[in-house]
Structure 1
């Protein structure tokens, strides 16, 4: 299904008049402002949750994650705490400010509790540091998207972590694009369009460009035009619903 987000609307001057919102133009004249509306707030948050999340919580792409890396120290004594926190703070300093990083040094929660919490919040990378890791001059790196864990050397860890964040960003994009492409199909007639949208897919079909035809398709299938490609298939054809001439194919799908 499709999720409508990032749409723009010209609201004109009605709201400006209602709230007495004015500006001074280049000629010094006072005029009511023209307003627009953009669906890029909670809808996009919902889209991220739906597209990337799993049963364990959020999975946030690194570029939009408030916290990109969380460092979780592991210790059982005051001596170990001092040792491990020293390494954690040093790594944090090496990562910041290029990476949004936090050291979770809370004593009231055990490491396993912290792991689950940060996974639920979708932090892309978790770094685990315990006394044994320090002795081996390594840290343990855990990815949120694949849940894979891998030891990496402390020396040069900041550069490796930054590179891993880029890998995660690309992997999430590629996974989402693959899912979209695997659920997009050509519809060469109306029966094919109906079958595709019934299964929850995107149908790329010819449309005659009229609102009347789109309204009929919506009434009969609950699907609407989700996107008119700017650089898509411009081959002429026949509208799958009306049979009239069509300049190009458009995407039909049901919406949430």
Structure 2
């Protein structure tokens, strides 16, 4: 099972949209895909109609049961979506308490990695949607992954958030003794604005080959797809947003 983490220490840059869009395309290719919501705000869970306040099982249970976790425990926490082969491990607001209650316990940074290892034969790809805050949840997501996808809105303030994210990965890499395969994704790109054009140039100047050569455009169909609780590729397959994510997926899979 491949594990991809979608992360940025700034909110509103397209992390959940990227997780859902890539997950939908992979599932439509026949891949078995698990999307993991590690954000207490639970945007990914709500996208698919899963109420974070009412769900009986969530990623929080994985942490609570970490000392006696089995494959069955993990599988029991998953929720199907309207799309075949696409599943969600939902979030709950209780995740916001993890740093305070369990963050200092030994081994808490590897809980998600160990949980995914137990179900590695059940899925082809797992995609982890991160909170925009450095804490035990982001540490887990980075420790578990093979590749880090960093959506970055093409505007000035988002670039500052990217700087923090890259520094975080450098620190984490030294701690985990691993180097992250990182792909920076320019998102919400509007070619009509000077700000978007300048931001994309700055990304390439500062981060070079780590920046994907394409862009994810502004596309209102992303919002429309969330209303019907489907990835954009299933709801509006002929749109430019789908085309952009399909090109990105081809690069990620190589």
TM category, shorter? under 0.3
Structure 2 length-normalised TM: 0.24
Higher share of residues assigned strand: 1
Higher relative contact order (CA 8 A, sep 6+): 2
